[in-house]
Amino acid sequence: MIMTRHFLTLLDLSTEELRQLMARAAELKAIHASGKLHESLRGRILAMVFEKSSTRTRMSFEAGMAQLGGHAIFLSPRDTQLGRGEPIEDTARVLSRMADVIMIRTYEHEKIERFAEYAQVPVINALTDMYHPCQLLADIQTYFEQRGDIQGKTVAWIGDGNNMCHSYINAARRFDFELRIAAPRGYHPDARILADAGEHAALVDNPVEAARGAELVVTDVWASMGQEEEQAKRARAFADYQVNADIMAAADPQALFMHCLPAHRGEEVAADVIDGPQSVVWDEAENRLHAQKALLEFLLL
């Protein structure tokens, strides 16, 4: 019996598989740039369940499936039975009968785990409260194309110990880099996820220390989706955690800046950093498309 592979966290793939995926993402990007048609997923269907908003994730999966000759169907709780209480287990079984692969963006990570348990086709995590692994594929692809291998490099995570931070911790394990995390008290990443990363990830006392000599500096919003009512409280807690020119000056002179977007200029990042020469956020956003096409091929072919 062939086991259905899912992509709920980066740890679902081995280092070797992730590295192959990065190589394939670069190939698919080159094929697309050459204008050649590459319809490896002709006739395949992706079901996309979005319980939270999205610009990049929806666009990249939908465009990616179209470019590969397949089709993507957008489903939201506002206009499906999911929003009226149909059990997640039943939805998983039904979508599996009609789609070849399912992508979900939701709140609790346990929900996507339960969904995957009942699905008969691959399930992709398109963001939960705990992880955002698809974004890491794009981030690592971007680092590779700008600077070469990320193995042995130092990455600074500055800000909330959130879903993106957790996926960076897992990326540090799989791609063998050192992650330094500067987060205010009360907003540290999950202790278990951090402990499981061993020497690959560590908390440091302040943002300058995290950034010192780092080859990549990364941040994310202070209030994630679902935390809107905490915005003011978080803005106070994170006031000293903005990635600005001082932080970038502490980093390696060749350091890159990344942000998964959407960004809030003047909050987690200063405008002159995100719009400055070290920022690669637009390549990073574009690479969602190429990296996820490689992921779809990996799961389906």
List active site positions: 105, 132, 135, 220, 260, 288
- Report DSSP state, residue 239: G
Between 203 and 261, name the residue whose CB sits nearer to ligand CP.
261
Which amino acid makes up residue 113? E
Which value, to the nearest 10 degrees, does the dihedral of the CA atoms of residues 171, 172, 175, 176 take?
A: -170
- Examine residue 260 and tell whether it contacts ligand CP (CB under 6 A): yes
Spatial separation of the C-alpha atoms in residues 5 and 117, rounded to whole Å? 11
Judged by beta carbon distances under 5 to 8 A according to partner kind, the member of ligand CP, ligand NVA, none in contact with residue 242 is: none
Judged by beta carbon distances under 5 to 8 A according to partner kind, the member of ligand CP, ligand NVA, none in contact with residue 164 is: ligand NVA
Least distance in angstroms from the C-beta of 175 to ligand NVA = 20
Among 9, 67, 91, 163, binds ligand NVA (CB under 6 A): 163
Least distance in angstroms from the C-beta of 224 to ligand NVA = 3
Judged by beta carbon distances under 5 to 8 A according to partner kind, the member of ligand CP, ligand NVA, none in contact with residue 221 is: ligand NVA
Site string for ligand NVA, 219-238 (x = CB under 6 A): -xx--xx-------------
Take residue 185 and report the two structure tokens written for it.
Answer: 């008290």
Site for ligand CP in 120-139 (CB under 6 A): 127, 135
Sequence-distant (6+) residues with CB within 8 A of 250 are 208, 211, 212, 213, 214
Which value, to the nearest 10 degrees, does the dihedral of the CA atoms of residues 77, 260, 8, 301 take?
A: 100
Is 54:62 a contact under the CB 8 Å cutoff? no
Take residue 182 and report the two structure tokens written for it.
Answer: 């500067």
Site string for ligand NVA, 121-160 (x = CB under 6 A): ------x----x----------------------------
Is 211:200 a contact under the CB 8 Å cutoff? no
Q: Which residues are near ligand NVA by CB under 6 A?
A: 127, 132, 162-164, 220-221, 224-225, 260
